[in-house]
Homo-oligomer: A and B are copies of this chain.
Amino acid sequence: MTETKAIRGRLLWFVDDPETAGDAAHRHVEDGVIVIVDGLIEAVGEASILLPTLPADAAIVDHRPHLIMPGFIDAHLHLPQTQVIASYGAQLMEWLAKFTFVEEQKCAGPAHARKLARFFLNELLASGTTTAAIYCSVHVASVEALFTESQARNTRMIAGKVMMDRNAPAALTDTADTAYADSKALIARWHGRGRQLYAISPRFVVTSTPEQMAAAGRLAAEHPQCHVQTHINENRAEIAFANELYPEPGDYAGIYQHFGLLGARSLMGHCIHMTDREWRRFAQAGAVAVFCPTSNLFLGSGLFDWARAKAEGVPVAVATDIGGGTSYSMLRTMAEAYKVLQLQGQSLSAFAALHAITRGNAKALKLDHLVGSLEPGHEADLVVLDPAATRVMAHRLETARDLAEELFVLVTLGDERNVAATYVMGERIDADREPSPQPSTPPVLANSR
């Protein structure tokens, strides 16, 4: 049976990039309605025009005066690190050994993995994030837990088993062969099941032997529909180690390229310390540079060069990088992105920031035909925002003169407190309640349109 519902409020979405198209990039409807049929957006527009067209039994939820946007997208974060966040006093390599690798070992247990997956997805949804690219641990159980919980919530998530066969504790290593076989089985089991998507996930070259890198490359070649996600050029000690392990290609990006892992579906975390040649390699491959501002600041890694990436024609995504990052909120993440750009004399407008975490990330993740905007045919993943949710913000907004200023306050001071509601496939999510084990809407085939 077809179910029609309408969600009413102030609508904001993007049809182009504000950094190139200016004000023509966004659509803002003061009193708008999103008509949803069976979880998909059927129509979007003025309430006065759309409301009369609805069937008599259509449910209408009125969120005015709140702002409704496409659900946020997080392009890089780690399931096993929800209890690593805010670990003290180390930069990347020490932080991995001292904190991360300790916590990740617990994910071998399915009960722990399931607990983390529930917490993690609930927190993402409470922060308005409806799609994310997620590193699970090396354990198959962690991927099963994540996808099972995501399936239960009917969320569109990209995730994969981390591949690591050296420079990590024995309990966290697989081999080239088992990583290949396990990843392949997980792809068969989960990729395109409901809304779930698989990402081939060699952690980074430092923790993979050439044999495993080659296995990852084989997986990527055999499954061109899958993403690849990994790390690159985050920290100078890491870069030195990577180039020492793989001197041949001459630079870090070249290592991934050599193994067939630098392509248009490659989500390359960090990209802080890039050489000219590496920018060119990225541009030629269409590989995505994933900017993780709170993580880069917290770990003292350095400042991502947004303007350079754009000038080089490299697609940029943005991400929390939990648990190197310090907030699940994509709003908070963009407030920190603004600061990283300011330190380099660059500016990031609120429109550019909100574009980045919706349509921008959807494009970078090649999901912009499914999510990230409010276009007919899109999956109805939505975040309802109250820009005046805190006293400080309400007080500040008294003097806001226009939409740009209001949105800049939202981006600069906002976090999960501003999320009044989150919808997944048109269903409102209560992040504090466990979902029923089966999705309420039928599975949608990935990349089918």
User: What is the interface of chain A, defined by CB distance below 8 A to chain B?
Assistant: 82-83, 85-89, 91, 103, 119, 122-123, 126, 297-300, 302-303, 326-328, 335, 338-339, 341-345, 347, 349-350, 391-392, 395-396, 398-399, 404-405, 408-409, 412-413
Please report the C-alpha to C-alpha distance between residue A342 and residue B88 in the assembled complex, in whole angstroms.
11
CB distance from A106 to the nearest CB of B (A): 9
User: Beyond A392-B123, A392-B328, is A297–B83 a contact (Cβ under 8 Å)?
Assistant: no
Assembly CA distance A297 to B395 (angstroms)? 22
* 12 further A-B pairs in the complex, CB-CB below 8 A; given A89-B347, A122-B391: A83-B398, A86-B412, A88-B404, A88-B405, A89-B349, A297-B343, A300-B341, A302-B343, A303-B343, A326-B412, A327-B413, A328-B392
Contacts of A404 in B (CB 8 A): 88
When chains A and B are docked, how far (Å) is the Cα of A209 from the Cα of B240?
A: 53
Closest to A350 in B: B88
Instruction: Kindly report which residue of chain B lies nearest to residue A417, judged by CB atoms.
Output: B417
- Minimum CB distance partner of A390 in chain B: B416
3 tightest A-B contacts by CB?
A300-B342, A86-B412, A297-B339
Q: Give the chain B neighbours of A126 by CB distance below 8 A.
A: 391
Are A298 and B338 within 8 A (Cβ)? yes
Instruction: State whether A299 touches B86 (Cβ < 8 A).
Output: no
Q: Once the chains are docked, how many angstroms separate the CA of A341 from the CA of B396?
A: 29
- CB contacts (< 8 Å) of A87 on chain B: these are 405, 408
When distances are taken between beta carbons in the complex, the residues of chain B under 8 Å from A391 are 119, 122-123, 126
Cβ-defined partner of A395 (8 Å) among B82, B89, B326, B344: B82
Which of B86, B338, B349, B395 touches A396 (beta carbons < 8 Å)?
Answer: B86
Given A326-B412, A404-B88, A405-B88, does the pair A83, B396 have CB atoms closer than 8 Å?
A: yes
